[in-house]
Structure 1
Amino acid sequence: MIEDIKKACQVMREGGVILYPTDTIWGIGCDATNEDAVRRVYEIKQRQDSKAMLVLVDSSVKVDFYVRDVPEVAWDLIDLADKPLTIIYSGARNLAANLLAEDGSVGIRVTNEDFSKRLCQQFRKAIVSTSANISGQPSPKNFSEISEEVKSAVDYIVGYRQEEMSNPKPSSIIKLDKGGVIKIIRE
Structure 2
Amino acid sequence: MSNRPSPLNDWQRHCVRRTLERGGVIAYPTEAVWGLGCDPWNEDAVMRVLALKQRPLHKGLILVAASVAQVEFLLTPLAPELRQRALAHWPGPVTCLIPDLQQQIPTWVRGRHASIAVRVSEHPVVRDLCNTAGMPLVSTSCNPAGRQPARSGWQVRRYFNDRLDWLVPGELGHERKPSRILDIRTGRRLR
Same fold (TM over 0.5): yes
Q: Corresponding residue for 2:5?
A: none
Look up the equivalent residue of 2:184 and give its one-letter code. L
Shift of 1:148: 2.3
1:101 aligns with 2:111: yes
- The residue aligned with 1:129 is 139
Is the Cα contact below 8 Å between 1:16 and 1:155 reproduced in 2? yes
Q: Find out whether 1:75 has 2:81 as its counterpart.
A: no
- Other-structure match for 1:10: 18
1:9 match: secondary structure = helix
Distance 1:80 1:100, change over 3 A: closer
Q: Residues 12-91 of structure 1 correspond to what in structure 2 (within 5 A)?
A: 12-66=20-74, 69-71=77-79, 72-80=81-89, 83-91=92-100
CA deviation map 1:145-169 (0-9, x unaligned): 33524232111111233xx697742
Partners of 2:13 and 2:176 lie apart in 1 by 21
Distance in 1, matches of 2:175 and 2:187, equals: 28
Indicate conservation of the 8 Å contact 1:33/1:126, yes or no: no
TM-score (norm 2): 0.83
Structure 2 unaligned residues grouped into runs of 5+? 1-7
Q: 2:158 aligns with which of 145, 148, 165?
A: 148
Q: 1:105 to 1:167 in 2, by over 3 A?
A: closer
- For residues 26-64 of structure 1, give each alpha carbon's deviation from its aligned partner in whole angstroms, at most 9, with x where no partner exists: 101000111111011001111111111101111112222
Q: Which blocks of at least 5 consecutive residues in structure 1 are unaligned?
A: none
Q: If the length of structure 1 is used for normalisation, what is the TM-score?
A: 0.85
Tell me how far 1:182 sits from its aligned partner.
1.5
Verify the 8 A CA contact 2:97 2:182 in the aligned structure 1. yes
